[in-house]
A and B are shown apart, each in its own frame.
Chain A
Amino acid sequence: MFPPVPNPTTGPQSPKFGEKDLIRRSASTVTPPAERQTEVAKLIDVSKCIGCKACQSACIEWNDTHPELETNTGVYENPHDLTPDMFTLMRFTEWENPETNNLEWLIRKDGCMHCEDPGCLKACPAPGAIVQYSNGIVDFVHENCIGCGYCIKGCPFNIPRISKVDHTAYKCTLCSDRIAVGQGPACAKACPTQAIVYGTKEEMKKHAEGRIADLKSRGFENAGLYDPPGVGGTHVMYVLHHADKPEIYAGLPNNPKISPIVEAWKGATKYAGLAVIGVAAVSGFLHYLVNGPNRVSEEDEEAAERFTGDRSS
């Protein structure tokens, strides 16, 4: 068992990270701090999850959100998708293992992965609406958000949701406000089976190794850690019993990375685009300097007078 984060002291505390620890800020350049804080991570052990949704309740409780009541459509997901009021969601898959012919009930806690290379932040046009702290947490700053939804297109995991109420984007914060004062995420605290644990990224990887060895010893030979390198690794990781096929866990992407379309849009298009507009404007200017205006001459006017006079008299 991984030791849980102890209960808080009751006295006020100053936050352990803030503005000065930003390593990325959307639509802005930041000078990263000289020293990076220890990277943190949440580890979700899918094999230990019993699908009780205590994490969902804890998330709602801590973040004081009010997910709408929905109707039961015969599936376990509740609500049916991530929403601006539901930052994490248990996704259930009934999977028939072709090797054993066993039905396996796969339960994955979906939510922001806190990518080391966050596509949401790359796509965001509003300065400071998305920030990344040196400990790896990717956070949305609602005062700066304009609600354009570009983050949704940038994210390889389909996570952010735009609120119809305040028109800003919402997703899991990794409980940055709790972590800032030495606490762990609310979901990790609530999880009755320790399927969710929180610590430094190194600790989490080490803890995962033990879990994976255990799973392998029990016949899950493809058990492994999901820490996808395509996005530089994530600060929310999964232990999967079938790490060779992440997509069976309700479509967890196998090798996620920022879409090349998004890269092209946010990369070449921006530079080439401004260059094209610049060239158009400068050529006009130069043409004018060299040629001067194109004027109608006196002779043109006279020709027109003769022409119309002739014809219409």
Chain B
Amino acid sequence: MSTDKDYHVGKGDSVHPGKPVTVDRYTGGARINHWITATSLVLLALSGLSLFHPRLFILSALFGGGQSVRAIHPWVGVILFFSFLGLFLRFWKLNLWKREDGTWLARVRDVLTAHDERLPEIGKYNAGQKLVFWSMSVLIVVLITSGVVIWDQYFAAYTTIEQKRWALLVHSIAAILAISVWIVHVYAAIWVRGTIRAMTRGYVTGGWAWRYHRKWLRELVAKSPTKDTKRTAAE
């Protein structure tokens, strides 16, 4: 039973009419999952960067010195991997590419100048969010794979030095990209007001949903139990 609308609405999303309208966007589980992921990513970025450039070695003090960075970083990586896996399983369906995403992306100029009225109606995630989602998914797989190869404390014996050299190069480039994607992600959340609350309190206002994710809102309203589902499904 997969109609188009299944892809735009997440589990637990629902509308609460009122003044203002509020829309539940993330369940408690999803939020906890997200913040575990976010915390580990920040810890990984800080500890990783301390080894990345001599100027940044000072960051290792946050973790109690270089030896602890060396010991802790890969383990946090393991936490990140599994935690992100949780997010992936929750959200991958809603991040599948849709026709309107191409249009949205082509009008990126309107996106950046906040002319949201000129953009197509969007489901739960817009093309930018989907790109962040998929690039993070790929990068984290690359990071855990290359990370294990250079995790000498336990895995030194399984690869050659030449393979480890490649892994280090790949790991550092993937880390740079992941950190950059993370910056875009965080900036977008700050720039578009009312977004962070979705991940802290779990809901957004109706206006937010109307302005940025109208298709999502439409479907939520359509499926809300109090109204005539037949009519909306036919729309």
Which positions in A face B, CB cutoff 8 Å? 27-28, 125-127, 144, 146-150, 152-153, 158, 162, 167, 259, 261-262, 264-265, 269-270, 272-274, 276-277, 280-281, 284, 287-288, 291, 293-298, 300-305, 307-309, 311-313
Interchain CB contact under 8 A, A153 and B164: yes
Complex interface: stretch among B66-74, B99-107, B124-132: B66-74
CA distance in complex: A309, B194 (Å): 21
Q: What is the distance, in angstroms, from B115's C-beta to the closest C-beta of chain A? A: 10
Residue from the list B21, B51, B165, B168 in contact with A305, Cβ < 8 A:
B21
Task: List residues of chain A with CB within 8 A of the CB of B156.
Answer: 149, 162
Interchain CB contact under 8 A, A297 and B207: yes
Residue from the list B54, B192, B221 in contact with A308, Cβ < 8 A:
B221
Chain A CB within 8 A of B172 CB: yes
Interchain CB contact under 8 A, B206 and A304: yes
The secondary structure that dominates the B interface is: helix
Interchain CB contact under 8 A, B53 and A307: no
Given contacts A146-B66, A311-B221, A312-B17, A276 and B176 within 8 Å (CB-CB): yes
CA distance in complex: A49, B83 (Å): 58
- A-B contact number at CB 8 A: 172
Task: List residues of chain A with CB within 8 A of the CB of B42.
Answer: none
Chain A CB within 8 A of B118 CB: no
Given contacts A147-B67, A158-B161, A307 and B168 within 8 Å (CB-CB): no
CA distance in complex: A293, B172 (Å): 33
The secondary structure that dominates the A interface is: helix
Of chain A, the residue at the smallest CB distance from B228 is: A311
Residue from the list B57, B116, B169, B227 in contact with A126, Cβ < 8 A:
B57
CA distance in complex: A294, B19 (Å): 21
Given contacts A301-B20, A305-B19, A291 and B161 within 8 Å (CB-CB): no
Task: List residues of chain B with CB within 8 A of the CB of A312.
Answer: 15, 17, 221, 224, 226-227
Task: List residues of chain A with CB within 8 A of the CB of B210.
Answer: 296, 300-301, 303-304, 307
Residue from the list B53, B172, B194 in contact with A296, Cβ < 8 A:
B194
Interchain CB contact under 8 A, A148 and B70: yes
Complex interface: stretch among B2-10, B87-95, B180-188: B180-188
Given contacts A303-B207, A312-B226, A276 and B180 within 8 Å (CB-CB): yes
Task: List residues of chain B with CB within 8 A of the CB of A273.
Answer: 52, 172-173, 176
